[in-house]
Homo-oligomer: A and B are copies of this chain.
Amino acid sequence: MILRMPLGLSAALSAITLSAMAMPSIARAEDGHQLWLRYPPATGTPDRAVTITAADPLGRPQLKLAIAELKRGLAPQGVQGPFRLMTPADGSWPARYDHLGAEGFALSSRKVGDRIDTQIAAKTDLGLLYGVFHYLRLAHSGADLARLDVVSSPRIALRVLDHWDNLDGTVERGYAGASIWDWWRLPDWRDPIYTDYARANASVGINGAVLNNVNAKADSLTAPYIAKAAALADVFRPWGIKVYLSARWSAPIELGGLKTADPLDPAVAAWWRAKADEIYRAIPDFGGFLVKANSEGQPGPADYHRTHAQGANMLAAALKPHGGVVMWRAFVYAHDNPEDRAKQAYNDFKPLDGQFADNVLVQVKNGAIDFQPREPFHPLFGAMPRTNLMMEFQITKEYLGQSTHMTYLGPLFSEALQADTLAQGKGSTVARVVDGSLDGHRLTGIAGVANIGANRDWSGSIFNQADWYAFGRLAWNPDLSPESIAREWAAQTFSPAPKVVEAVTAIMIPSREVAVDYMTPLGLAHQMSVYGHYGPGPWVNTLARPEWNPVYYNRADAQGIGFDRTASGSKAIAQYSPAIAARLARPETTDDKDLLWFHHLPWTYRMKDGATLWDDLVRHYDRGVSGVENMQGQWQALKPAIDAERFEKTSVFLTIQRRDAQLWRDASIAYWQSLNHLPLPAGSAPPAHDLGWYKALTFPYAPGNP
């Protein structure tokens, strides 16, 4: 904008000279919609043309997608030299790649003179597509493309997103707007967003999507909704993604007019067989059913005094002829069961080990309660060697600040996967249970409850996208480090410049521990308010079911705090392998991070460093608040490197998080002090308000509530 003083006009006048050439009509909006697939324009001059060689691409839709993706991502990189995509049909297939799985790929490159020869080999076109995405991941993360040698196959067979999306367009525990499924206009209108969704999933190796909420409506199994699901399946198929449906157990009654849903009733089994046949006519590669049965009010086989195995196997038999699977959730607990909620799933499922059909996976949450900021690994892992055990993570952050808090989940996922069950001695990690290697299972799976909605940025914030990304990468290889995943993501999402990557990663890595500190430190859990699990509510004791109340979990009183799960308490530790149980039996040998999960301790209990439990607890809260402050400062320092829109959004969200962290700290401390009347440790500020003020806070219309 050039200002000048025009002659003969008021002195206040000025003029702006506008160069038409310098004004692009549309600025490229960095609104986060491109996710980690931004493929930013090259800064330098593009080099010579690339020649992509592949066997006849006609009639090979996945190969076409692979080539198109390669062109899209390669173009600005100025890569040169021949690029070969190869499958065994090509004739010159090297024997050393024979061990690749159906989805695996081998990626290699070498410098020949001034050009780079690159080759991606795979047994299938889907493998080629995954190889292309991996190549582009490397290309846009700053890798040296001249000396690649990567051989990679997924460790887990079913890598699935669970959408808790309702047929009315809302999303249970969704914090990114409405559902992206436009059920009303399906199957006619196939929104381009479905392709974008499938592409993003394929780029991180996700190969399945459960379309509807586990709190399922029978309608999703009616003919119109099967047709709608089939339309989505058609869009997803070239990207290697199968659709699954959450099945309502009582559908034979609600849709079929039967009087029962008893799994041993032949009419019920026949109804499900016919329903499976109907679905497979519309969706020949339908993945199968996800079932939440006898859990939080959902119907199930226990209504007919049948076991979970009897229920799952009946459905499995209906799907078996078509190659489908049943993913049967182990998330069960009963309001009329006085047993420690953390023990109930184990008690119900452990005795059924060996009874499930071979196309059933029992889907177990990472912890025994419900997706808390931190939970010890679920004791069912390692305890059911004759069962296909599938992991269920929650990518959407029901209990971790939802859409606005930055709490990178890579460390949470990895912590659970790397936990050692000791089931078959050292190294019996949860990852090895889930990938089947520990017990020799071939049908393996991992599910993440999606954080995807219709918001332009998909996940409610830019950084929540990293959780989707990390889930996919860990589903492919559970042993990847969360740090390396964060680096990859940061490079692709913002910039491969090392200082940007390092700075963004440095914010992400501690962020989950920061949230644990300001929300539920030292093994506390489920202290969230009644308003959508967002703010603090450690005092809450009025919810309908005892195990929904924070006081059930903190057990705090004048003397102490924590849930005794040792021999003197609920005995939950006995569900772990003996060596672990022995360690957990005493607070001194229990990791501080799980301390109050397993032990009820006096406020004056001496921690390993000599501080009292109370002082240490307060220190953790303080550390949580200052941790967010650090994140704010680190983010501000990145301002020159980040585009305005994504910078501002993240900046505002960190402001919200800082305020919420203070609220969590102050409200929690105010409540604990109302019980223990202890002074705060030196240097720790009193809560800004009295307890009554915090108790009076309401958060109406919190999103994501069922």
Spell out A's residues near B (CB within 8 Å).
6, 9-10, 12-21, 23-26, 28, 31, 34, 39-41, 46-57, 67, 71-78, 89-92, 167-170, 177-178, 183-185, 188-190, 192-193, 219, 403-404, 454-456, 645, 649, 652-653, 655-656, 700-703
Contact = CB atoms under 8 A, between A and B. Distances in A.
A404 B189 CA distance: 10
Contacts of A23: 71-72, 75-76
Contact of A16 (B34, B52, B72, B455): B52
Given A15-B52, A18-B50, A28 B31 contact: no
A372 B404 CA distance: 42
Contact of A167 (B56, B183, B701): B701
Contacts of A703: 168-169, 184
Given A25-B40, A178-B169, A656-B189, A56 B701 contact: no
21 contacts: A6-B53, A9-B90, A12-B89, A13-B53, A13-B90, A14-B55, A15-B53, A16-B54, A17-B49, A17-B50, A18-B74, A18-B75, A20-B46, A20-B74, A24-B75, A25-B41, A169-B178, A177-B454, A188-B652, A188-B653, A192-B645
B13 A184 contact: no
Number of copies: 2
A495 B25 CA distance: 16
Contacts of A10: 55, 90-91
A532 to B, nearest CB: 9
A18 B656 contact: no
A57 B2 CA distance: 12
Given A14-B54, A189-B652, 6 more contacts: A13-B55, A177-B178, A178-B454, A184-B701, A184-B702, A184-B703
Nearest to A28: B26
A701 B183 contact: yes
Contacts of A41: 25
A168 B531 CA distance: 13
Q: Which 7 A-B pairs have the closest CB atoms?
A: A23-B75, A20-B46, A178-B178, A12-B56, A15-B53, A16-B52, A167-B701
A94 to B, nearest CB: 15
Tell me if A's interface is mostly helix, strand, loop or mixed: loop
Greatest chain B CB density within 10 A among A77, A645, A649 is at A649
Given A185-B656, A656-B185, A51 B17 contact: yes
A529 to B, nearest CB: 14
A456 B25 CA distance: 19
Contacts of A456: 193, 456
A57 B177 CA distance: 38
A53 B13 CA distance: 7
A75 B15 contact: no
Nearest to A167: B701
A50 B39 CA distance: 35
Nearest to A83: B18
A652 B50 CA distance: 38
Contacts of A40: 25
Greatest chain B CB density within 10 A among A25, A56, A67 is at A25
A13 to B, nearest CB: 5
Greatest chain B CB density within 10 A among A16, A40, A219, A456 is at A16
Nearest to A19: B49
Greatest chain B CB density within 10 A among A26, A78, A90, A188 is at A26
A404 B9 CA distance: 54
Contacts of A52: 15-18
Given A39-B25, A49-B19, A56 B184 contact: no
A15 to B, nearest CB: 4
A701 B21 contact: no
Contacts of A67: 16
A47 B76 contact: no
Contacts of A20: 46-50, 74-78
A25 B34 CA distance: 11
A17 B49 CA distance: 7
Contacts of A24: 75
Contacts of A645: 192
